[in-house]
């Protein structure tokens, strides 16, 4: 019985010691209201279709930045986005037109 209890305790301690705090990735569907290009990044403001709130997303992937620059994504487009909150900013992890692109 002691061996089982010791093994169980060791397993619980190991699990708690190695657990990484998960960052919640948030999803949204929204309409682009503003895009501010700034060198190697951009800030895109989306109006959430569910709540109507404005959400600023920091976009730094080159594919999406190229789409901003050549106007394949612009103001008025409906976007599916995922983002993580880091350092007080919403960092985009997924940013695509809802209908494709």
- Tens of pLDDT along 9-50? 766 666 655 554 555 789 999 999 999 999 899 999 999 999
Element (H, E) at 11: helix 2-18
pLDDT of 8 reads 65
| Multiple choice CATH, 24-97, 2.60.120.260, 2.102.10.10, 2.40.50.140, 2.60.40.2140 | 2.40.50.140
- pLDDT (tens digit per residue) in 79-91: 999 999 998 999 9
Residue 97 pLDDT > 90: yes
Name 13's Cβ contacts closer than 8 Å, sequence gap at least 6.
Answer: none
Report the alpha-carbon distance of residue 44 to residue 92 in Å, rounded.
9
- β-sheet bridge partners, residue 91: 58, 84
**Domain ranges, ordered by start, for the chain:** 24-97
pLDDT for res 69: 94
How far is 37 from 90, CA to CA, in rounded Å?
16
**Which pLDDT belongs to residue 50?**
94
């Amino acid at each position: 019985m002691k061996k089982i209890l010791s093994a169980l305790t060791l397993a619980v301690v190991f699990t708690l010691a190695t657990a990484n705090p998960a960052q919640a990735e948030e999803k949204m569907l929204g309409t682009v209201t503003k895009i501010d290009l700034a060198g190697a990044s951009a800030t895109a403001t989306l109006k959430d279709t569910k709540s109507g709130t404005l959400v600023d997303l920091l976009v730094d992937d080159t594919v999406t930045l190229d789409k901003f620059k050549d106007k394949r994504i612009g103001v008025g487009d409906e976007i599916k986005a995922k983002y993580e909150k880091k350092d007080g900013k919403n960092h985009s992890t997924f940013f695509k037109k809802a209908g494709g692109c």
